[in-house]
Structure 1
């Protein structure tokens, strides 16, 4: 006999809500980080030997850090969007199947199992 799987859309929605909160927090942290990072752009200096040597590496590291923060944020948003989409799909499928079952039950009640009047059983 096959295994049964149980899906609780409300629980998944609650978890998706938590993911949305994490995404919002990640977005906020990213914005705060970038705001705090901006004033440090001139730390290696603008002229002299140290600035010449340090600035390219500092800019590369700065950009890598920005890209990493944005990627983390985008990944969280993507996971959340996909999860919410799957929950909607599950609910729509469930609701359509329940409606089909209810429709079939109404037809059986009206016409019987053999489809004839009176509904006195199968042929």
Structure 2
């Protein structure tokens, strides 16, 4: 299975993330690793695709120049939001009457323990 491939000027990926299981030698339960990568799958907004067409190394431009112009900053911000929603939106299905697209990051953070009641890290954080 190919994870990423080149299409015209852009490199595209089938998914923005991968999930793995980590088994510790002395651990009672396996851990979960979610690897999220800034990537393009072809369904990004038109302005993100346009920026990518003009900047071949997007979304992996060097950070040696810390002064992003407005277009560059907005393209990375919009791609990050797009990737985040693709990764976490399934937690917010229409069955719960709330779409992740309509929520602020704080609302999503606060809703995660309710949506993932068995996740040990979220439960531990609630007890603090």
TM-score for both structures, normalised by structure 2? 0.27
- Quick check: which one's strand share is greater? 2
Larger-Rg structure: 1
Q: Determine which structure has greater relative contact order: mean sequence separation of CA pairs < 8 Å that are 6+ residues apart, divided by chain length.
A: 1
- Quick check: which one's helix share is greater? 1
TM-score for both structures, normalised by structure 1? 0.28
